[in-house]
């Protein structure tokens, strides 16, 4: 081949030829023939040969279809043909095949070449290999759709899959199920063993979940300790509940995390869907609601765990209040709505002063004397009548309104008890027991607030006992130590409420400088009936004695329960057997009798 002269090189054709040879893009020119047999390649540049592995002689004169293969996107090709037939440029990604059969992804840009008359004579296509960029994109897509910790799909991908499953159900009737799996008390693990151990546990949970499912099912992590499962095309509800049980069983087996053996439980909410009438997000929300219901019902009891730590033998005692699952039912939606309505009503209730305090006596089992009164708030609703705290405390907690309600209860109680102390003087002044909610407990200036109320009402701090539930106390042990310290320095007494329903650490119990353990009435209810409860209550009373704390069993309803408690050398108790919580007016009468009769409950009632 004769080398072009310098003069020739500067002529446009030569420049162009050289440029075509050197650019990285592959360039391809075909005839404009669109009808069969289709366009024919008339020119390819070196870049094309490098990219495809074909020599120029092999492709000139043949159809560009040689670049297509089984995985080439037909829809994209149709679009390409349509554009070209309209004489418009095409721009898009297409998967092509090299001569050796390997795949590569290119970005095509195809434009028509026209003659002076404006007729299309050729197509010129430039292609850029974007395989690498595609790989990066894939990687990114993976990251966007997966949870980095467990590698499970995340919420976005889960919703995508769920929507897909639902759309299939529209064409062909079939049943899908969504399971919302939430670990119970995961926060406790995180707080007590550290985040690394918590992460480790989550990874293992993810593995077990995956292992309990079919390969076609999806399990995703959508929140800290929240997992969701999609079961597609299931036979029926019983299949789904079997899966839920299997998951509960698998998660119940011992884990090792942070160098410790631990057991966890979970709560599962289930919703079934036969069509895509409902959006995916709505299904997820319903499964979530059902999960909360499961949690509420299955409130787990860790008494066994605690007693195990205390080295108290529990032979033959079986666990109770086990983790559970719950199917969604429309009633739950109604309850959620009701909560919403409650929220606004509660706000008005505070302004309208619709709250009242009832008091339940704390009774000495030695003398029958009333030692103190627990303040229990009620809502006197103008329409519904007396609403119990179980109906509104958690809503008030969610909205933060509990802080104001709680402060009101505290003040009201201190004023009232101070009055009674004056009217019914006794050697050991009446104590006031006031419940603190989680939200209140974590209020920044809780101690300051309480000090103010004590000051205003002139109640001796020693006569005020604050009740904090076990779960709240154990949630964040370090913060708890500080808060309890601040409260303690006011001189008030501290009680752990609903003892046995949370996850107490014995080590902390000792350090928390509490005065009282209030044994949850679930355990008291079993006295004389369940051997297991007998052991638990006995152990709790023993534990309190060892730690120099007062044990107060709650919910004593029968003489039999009282008798057992006395046998266990328990000194103080509370419950309907003595008195229901009473309105202010009736408490006065009770206290008068207490004063006159040397104990409201004479020895004949106690022994």
- Among positions 225, 465, 470, 497, the unique one binding Mg ion when judged by CB under 5 A: 497
Q: How many binding residues for Mg ion (CB under 5 A)?
A: 5
Return the one option of ligand C2E, Mg ion, none that residue 376 interacts with (CB less than 5 to 8 A, by type): ligand C2E
* Integer CA distances (angstroms), 18 to 24, 128, 483, in order: 12, 19, 80
Please compute Rg for the chain using Cα positions: 37
Return the one option of ligand C2E, Mg ion, none that residue 360 interacts with (CB less than 5 to 8 A, by type): ligand C2E
Q: How far is the CB of 375 from ligand C2E (least distance, A)?
A: 6
Return the one option of Mg ion, ligand C2E, none that residue 599 interacts with (CB less than 5 to 8 A, by type): none
Q: Using an 8 Å Cβ cutoff, are 223 and 161 in contact?
A: no
Query: Which positions lie near ligand C2E, rule CB under 6 A?
Result: 360, 375-377, 388-390, 393, 406, 409, 435-437, 467, 497-498, 521, 554-557, 574-576, 581
Between 470 and 532, CB nearer to Mg ion = 470
Contact status: 465 vs Mg ion (CB under 5 A): no
Among the listed ranges 84-92, 97-105, 493-501, 528-536, the one in contact with Mg ion (CB under 5 A) is 493-501
- Among positions 200, 475, 498, 571, the unique one binding Mg ion when judged by CB under 5 A: 498
Distance of alpha carbon 252 from alpha carbon 250, whole angstroms: 5
Q: How far is the CB of 390 from Mg ion (least distance, A)?
A: 12
Contacts of 481 (CB under 8 A, 6+ apart): 508, 511, 512
The angle that helices 531-546 and 559-567 make with each other, rounded to 10 degrees, is 50
Q: How far is the CB of 564 from Mg ion (least distance, A)?
A: 19
Distance of alpha carbon 587 from alpha carbon 360, whole angstroms: 8
How many residues are listed for the chain in this entry? Answer: 607
Among the listed ranges 136-144, 150-158, 264-272, 462-470, the one in contact with Mg ion (CB under 5 A) is 462-470
Between 270 and 375, CB nearer to ligand C2E = 375
Instruction: List residues bridging with 355 in a β-sheet.
Output: 379
Distance of alpha carbon 89 from alpha carbon 72, whole angstroms: 20
Q: Using an 8 Å Cβ cutoff, are 93 and 105 in contact?
A: yes
Distance of alpha carbon 522 from alpha carbon 530, whole angstroms: 11
Q: How far is the CB of 573 from ligand C2E (least distance, A)?
A: 10
For the segment 549-578, give every residue that binds Mg ion (CB under 5 A). Answer: 554
Between 559 and 576, CB nearer to ligand C2E = 576
Q: How far is the CB of 488 from ligand C2E (least distance, A)?
A: 19
Distance of alpha carbon 501 from alpha carbon 548, whole angstroms: 21
Short-list 33, 18, 88, 19, CA closest to 64: 33
The angle that helices 477-488 and 186-193 make with each other, rounded to 10 degrees, is 80
Q: How far is the CB of 137 from Mg ion (least distance, A)?
A: 56
Contacts of 347 (CB under 8 A, 6+ apart): 399, 401
Instruction: Name the burial class of residue 40, with classes exposed (0-12), middle (13-18) and buried (19+) by CB atoms within 10 angstroms of its CB.
Output: middle
* Integer CA distances (angstroms), 441 to 132, 489, 490, in order: 55, 15, 15
Between 421 and 579, CB nearer to ligand C2E = 579
Between 157 and 537, CB nearer to Mg ion = 537
Q: How far is the CB of 541 from ligand C2E (least distance, A)?
A: 17
Between 60 and 350, CB nearer to ligand C2E = 350
Contact status: 435 vs Mg ion (CB under 5 A): yes
Between 52 and 469, CB nearer to ligand C2E = 469
Between 44 and 409, CB nearer to ligand C2E = 409
The bridge status of strand 260-262 relative to strand 255-257 is antiparallel
- Among positions 184, 232, 467, 532, the unique one binding Mg ion when judged by CB under 5 A: 467
Short-list 432, 419, 458, 424, CA closest to 361: 432
Tokens of 51: 């990219």
Torsion of CA 373, 377, 379, 380, to 10 degrees: 10
Q: How far is the CB of 524 from ligand C2E (least distance, A)?
A: 8
Among the listed ranges 103-111, 290-298, 459-467, 506-514, the one in contact with Mg ion (CB under 5 A) is 459-467
Between 218 and 431, CB nearer to Mg ion = 431
Return the one option of ligand C2E, Mg ion, none that residue 393 interacts with (CB less than 5 to 8 A, by type): ligand C2E
Q: How far is the CB of 441 from ligand C2E (least distance, A)?
A: 9
Distance of alpha carbon 505 from alpha carbon 191, whole angstroms: 12
Q: Which residues bind Mg ion (CB under 5 A)?
A: 435, 467, 497-498, 554
């Amino acid at each position: 081949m004769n080398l072009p002269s310098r003069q020739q090189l500067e002529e446009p054709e030569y420049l162009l030829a050289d440029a075509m040879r050197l650019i990285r893009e592959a360039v391809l020119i075909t005839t404009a023939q669109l009808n069969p047999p289709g366009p024919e390649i008339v020119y390819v540049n070196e870049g094309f040969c490098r990219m495809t592995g074909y020599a120029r002689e092999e492709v000139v004169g043949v159809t560009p279809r040689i670049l297509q293969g089984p995985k080439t996107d037909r829809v994209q090709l149709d679009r390409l043909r349509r554009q070209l037939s309209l004489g418009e440029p095409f721009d898009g990604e297409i998967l092509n095949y090299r001569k050796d059969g390997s795949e590569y992804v290119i970005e095509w840009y195809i434009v028509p070449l026209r003659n002076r008359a404006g007729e299309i004579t050729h197509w010129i296509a430039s292609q850029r290999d974007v395989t690498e960029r595609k790989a990066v994109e894939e990687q990114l897509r993976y990251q966007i759709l997966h949870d980095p910790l467990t590698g499970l799909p995340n919420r976005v991908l889960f919703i995508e899959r769920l929507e897909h499953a639902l759309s299939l159900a529209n064409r062909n009737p079939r049943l899908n199920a969504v399971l919302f799996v939430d670990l119970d008390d995961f926060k406790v693990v995180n707080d007590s063993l550290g985040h690394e151990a918590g992460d480790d546990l989550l990874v293992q949970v993810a593995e077990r979940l995956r292992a309990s499912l079919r390969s076609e099912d999806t399990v995703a992590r959508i929140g800290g300790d929240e997992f969701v499962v999609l079961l597609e095309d299931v036979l029926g509800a019983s299949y789904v509940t079997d899966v839920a049980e299997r998951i509960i069983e698998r998660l119940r087996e011992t884990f090792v995390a942070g160098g410790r053996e631990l057991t966890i439980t979970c709560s599962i909410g289930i919703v079934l869907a036969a069509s895509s009438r409902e959006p995916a997000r709505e299904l997820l929300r319903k499964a979530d609601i059902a999960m909360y219901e499961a949690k509420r019902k299955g409130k787990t009891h860790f008494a066994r765990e605690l007693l195990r730590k205390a080295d108290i033998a529990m032979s033959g005692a079986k666990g109770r209040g086990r983790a559970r699952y719950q199917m969604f039912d429309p009633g739950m939606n109604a309850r959620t709505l009701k909560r919403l309505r409650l929220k606004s009503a509660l706000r008005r209730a505070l302004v309208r002063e619709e709250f009242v305090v009832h008091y339940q006596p704390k009774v000495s089992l030695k003398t029958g004397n009333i030692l103190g009164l627990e303040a229990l708030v009620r809502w006197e609703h103008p329409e519904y009548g007396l609403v119990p705290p179980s109906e509104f405390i958690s809503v008030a907690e969610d909205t933060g309104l509990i802080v104001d309600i709680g402060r009101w209860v505290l003040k009201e109680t201190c004023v009232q008890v101070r009055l009674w102390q004056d009217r019914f003087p006794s050697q050991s002044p009446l104590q006031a027991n006031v419940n603190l909610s989680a939200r209140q407990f974590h209020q920044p200036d809780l101690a300051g607030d309480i000090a103010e109320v004590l000051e205003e009402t002139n109640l001796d701090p020693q006569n005020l006992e604050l009740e904090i539930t076990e779960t709240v106390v154990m949630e964040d042990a370090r913060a708890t130590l500080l808060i309890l310290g601040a409260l303690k320095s006011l001189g008030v007494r501290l009680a752990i409420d609903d003892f046995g329903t949370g996850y107490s650490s014995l080590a902390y119990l000792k350090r928390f400088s509490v005065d009282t353990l209030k044994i949850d009435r679930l355990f008291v209810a079993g006295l004389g009936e369940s051997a297991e409860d007998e052991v638990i209550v006995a152990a709790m009373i023993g534990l309190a004695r060892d730690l120099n704390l007062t044990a107060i069993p709650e919910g004593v309803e029968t003489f039999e329960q009282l008798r057992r408690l006395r046998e266990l050398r328990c000194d103080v108790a509370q419950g309907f057997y003595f008195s229901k919580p009473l309105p202010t007016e009736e408490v006065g009468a009770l206290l008068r009798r207490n004063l006159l009769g040397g104990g409201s409950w004479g020895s004949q009632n106690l022994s």
